[in-house]
C-alpha cells in the first residue's frame, strides 16, 4: 500500500459571510492568548506562559465553544484543552513532532494509506479550534496544498485500488472546507464503485454546531455511501443543547455518530467524568468508540496519563457502564496495522 497524492483543501474562512453563519464564526474565532484570557475571565498572570505555547501552535477558539467555559476558572476542563501553558515550551524526552511517523506514509503528502481497505485523505490543513494536545500540531499542512491536477491523480489512486472500501476525510478538520468543495469531492467518491463508506473525522459539529446546516445536510443526503462521522469530545460539558440539535440533524440524514476521546490529565482523568461523558454522548445519539492515551507529541507532555493509571481507570469505568457505552482504551503505535489495546 503506497500513498501517492496530495489532497488538501484550505480553510474556507470567509470574512464576508453573514453574521452568525458558521463561516463568520470560524473567521471570528479568538486567535491570541490575551483575548482568550479576557474572554475566560482570567487575569494576565497566565499570559507569559501562554505566549510561548502560542508561538509554537497558535491559539484558536470559536465563540460557541468558549460559551461553555466557566468564567474565572483556570481549571475548567474545556479551557485546559485550548489554553497554552508554559509547560508546552519544555522539551521532554520521547515527545516528538511526528509521534505517529505519518511522514513515512505520506511521501507525496496528503493521502495516508496505512490500514487495509481504507485511506485517509487530509482534506484540510486547518481546524476550527486548536487543541493543545493535538498529535498533528506540528504537521506540515502547508506542504499538503493540492492543485486541481493533484486532486485528479489522488482520485485515480482510489479508483485503481479496488481493495479500498472506505474513504476517510480528515485534517485538520475536513468540515472547514466549503460545502461546494465537499459536495464535489463526495460526488467523485460516490462514483467509485468499490467504495462503500465515507467517514469524516471532525470536531466542527461540537465546536461550531451551526456548521451542520442545510447545505451540509444536502451533500450528505445525496451520497449512496454509508456515512460515519467520528466526533471528538473529551468532556460532557462540551455537549450543550446546540450540539444535541446538530447531532439530531446528522442522524436524520443517516449518519452514524461515533466519538473518540483523548485521556487528558486534569481534563477527564477521572472515572466519574468519563462515566458522565459516555452517558451524555448516548443522550446525543453518539456511541463512545475510542478512548486514546496521549500520543507523545512535543508540547503536550503535561497532559499525559501513564498506561498503568489509564488501564486502572478503564477497569473501574467498565464496572459502571454497560458494554456499549464503554470506549475501547487504545494507543496508536507507529507501524502497527491497527490500534493497540491497553491493559491495566
Ligand atoms: S485535528 Fe482535531 S485534535 Fe487536532 S487541533 Fe484539529 S480539532 Fe483539535
CA 62, 202, 102, 11 torsion-angle sign: negative
The answer on pLDDT for 12 being more than 80 is no
Query: DSSP alpha helices (H): ranges in the chain?
Result: 22-27, 33-39, 47-56, 63-66, 79-82, 148-160, 179-190, 204-207, 214-222, 241-252, 271-283, 307-320
Q: How far apart are CA 264 and CA 304, in angstroms?
A: 6
Q: Grid coordinates standing for 167?
A: 474513504
pLDDT at 74 over 50: yes
Rounded Cα gap, residues 123 and 186, in angstroms: 11
What is the rounded distance in angstroms from the CA atom of residue 342 to the CA atom of residue 325?
17
pLDDT in tens, 34-63: 999 999 999 999 998 899 999 989 999 999
pLDDT tens, residue by residue, 173-198: 999 999 999 999 999 999 999 999 99
Answer yes or no: is the C-beta of 130 below 6 A from any ligand 1 atom.
yes
Take atom 8 of ligand 1 and give the residue whose Cα is closest: 131
pLDDT score of 273 more than 50: yes
Query: For residues 105 and 74, which has the higher predicted lDDT (pLDDT)?
Result: 74
User: Between residues 101 and 174, which one has the greater pLDDT?
Assistant: 174
Ligand 1 atom closest to residue 201's alpha carbon, by position in its atom list: 2
Whose Cα sits closest to atom 1 in ligand 1? 172
d(CA 318, CA 292): 16
pLDDT(1) > 50:
no
247 Cα: distance to centroid of ligand 1 (angstroms)? 19
Residue nearest ligand 1's atom 4 by CA: 134
308 vs 327: CA distance, rounded Å? 17
**pLDDT mean over 213-220:** 98
97, 115, 233 from 207: Cα distances, Å: 25, 29, 9
pTM of the entire structure?
Answer: 0.92
Ligand 1 centroid – CA 280 distance (Å):
21
Helix (H) or strand (E) holding 197: strand 197-202
Query: Within 10 Å of residue 29's Cβ, how many Cβ atoms?
Result: 22
Mutate to test the pocket of ligand 1, among 26, 61, 130, 292 (most ligand atoms within 8 A of CB): 130
Q: At a CB cut-off of 8 Å and minimum separation 6, what does 84 contact?
A: 33, 49, 50, 51, 52, 53, 54, 57, 59, 132
pLDDT of residue 7: 42
Nearest alpha carbon to residue 94 among 306, 311, 259:
306
Residue whose CA lies nearest to ligand 1 atom number 3: 134
CB-based contact 25:209 (threshold 8 Å): no
**What is the structure's pLDDT at 6?**
34
Amino acid at each position: 500500500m503506497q500513498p501517492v497524492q496530495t489532497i488538501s483543501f484550505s480553510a474556507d474562512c470567509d470574512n464576508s459571510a453573514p453574521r452568525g453563519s458558521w463561516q463568520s464564526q470560524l473567521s471570528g474565532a479568538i486567535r491570541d492568548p490575551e483575548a482568550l484570557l479576557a474572554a475566560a475571565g482570567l487575569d494576565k498572570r497566565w499570559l507569559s506562559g501562554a505566549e510561548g505555547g502560542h508561538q509554537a501552535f497558535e491559539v484558536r477558539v470559536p465563540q460557541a465553544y468558549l460559551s461553555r467555559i466557566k468564567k474565572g476558572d483556570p481549571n475548567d476542563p474545556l479551557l485546559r484543552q485550548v489554553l497554552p501553558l508554559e509547560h508546552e515550551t519544555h522539551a521532554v524526552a520521547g515527545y516528538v513532532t511526528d509521534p505517529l511517523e505519518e511522514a513515512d506514509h505520506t511521501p507525496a503528502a496528503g493521502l495516508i494509506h496505512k490500514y487495509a481497505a481504507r485511506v485517509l485523505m487530509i482534506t484540510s490543513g486547518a481546524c476550527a479550534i486548536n487543541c493543545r494536545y493535538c498529535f498533528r500540531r506540528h504537521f506540515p499542512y502547508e506542504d499538503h496544498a493540492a492543485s486541481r491536477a493533484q486532486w485528479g491523480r489522488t482520485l485515480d489512486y482510489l479508483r485503481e485500488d479496488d481493495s479500498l472500501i472506505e474513504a476517510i476525510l480528515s485534517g485538520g478538520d475536513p468540515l472547514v472546507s466549503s460545502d461546494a468543495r465537499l459536495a464535489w469531492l463526495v460526488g467523485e467518491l460516490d462514483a467509485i464503485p468499490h467504495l462503500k463508506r465515507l467517514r469524516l473525522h471532525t470536531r466542527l459539529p461540537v465546536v461550531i454546531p451551526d456548521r451542520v446546516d442545510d447545505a451540509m445536510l444536502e451533500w450528505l443526503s445525496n451520497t449512496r455511501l454509508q456515512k460515519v462521522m467520528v466526533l471528538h469530545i473529551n468532556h460532557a460539558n462540551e455537549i450543550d443543547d446546540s450540539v444535541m440539535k446538530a447531532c439530531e440533524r446528522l442522524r436524520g440524514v443517516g449518519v452514524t455518530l461515533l466519538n473518540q476521546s483523548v485521556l487528558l490529565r486534569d481534563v477527564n482523568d477521572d472515572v466519574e467524568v468519563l462515566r458522565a461523558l459516555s452517558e451524555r454522548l448516548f443522550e446525543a445519539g453518539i456511541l463512545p468508540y475510542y478512548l486514546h492515551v496521549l500520543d507523545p507529541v512535543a508540547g503536550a507532555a503535561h497532559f499525559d496519563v501513564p498506561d498503568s493509571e489509564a488501564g486502572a481507570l478503564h477497569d473501574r469505568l467498565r464496572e459502571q457502564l454497560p458494554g456499549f457505552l464503554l470506549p475501547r482504551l487504545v494507543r496508536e503505535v507507529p507501524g502497527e496495522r491497527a490500534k493497540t489495546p491497553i491493559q491495566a
